[in-house]
Amino acid sequence: MEVLRIILTIIFILVSIALTVLVLMQEGKQAGLGAISGAAETYWGKNKGRSMEGRLVRITKYLAVAFLLLAVLLNISRIWG
């Protein structure tokens, strides 16, 4: 059980670092203010989900879920272990 906790802790640290790097790589939301004037109807606005920025957002969501699940698992193992 102790080996599993160590492995989960290492994975938790790696996910934390990756999540931090991905959040820092993303563009700020101020760049999206052009949507007020209708700039969201451009090619970039329609295909943002397929772009690199869209992939970064999707990967960030998955890593955030993994982060939360690992945090819960590690805390449950400390309570019961």
Confidence (pLDDT) at 18: 97
Which two tokens mark 31? 């760049």
pLDDT of 8 > 90? The answer is yes
pLDDT of 73 > 70? The answer is yes
In angstroms, the CA 64 to CA 40 distance is: 27
In angstroms, the CA 72 to CA 78 distance is: 10
Confidence (pLDDT) at 53: 85
Question: pLDDT for 27-72, tens place per residue?
Answer: 776 655 555 555 555 555 556 667 888 899 999 999 999 999 999 9
**Per-domain residue ranges of the chain:** 2-27+50-80
Q: How confident is the model at residue 78 (pLDDT cuts 50, 70, 90)?
A: confident
pTM of the model as a whole: 0.72
Confidence (pLDDT) at 47: 62
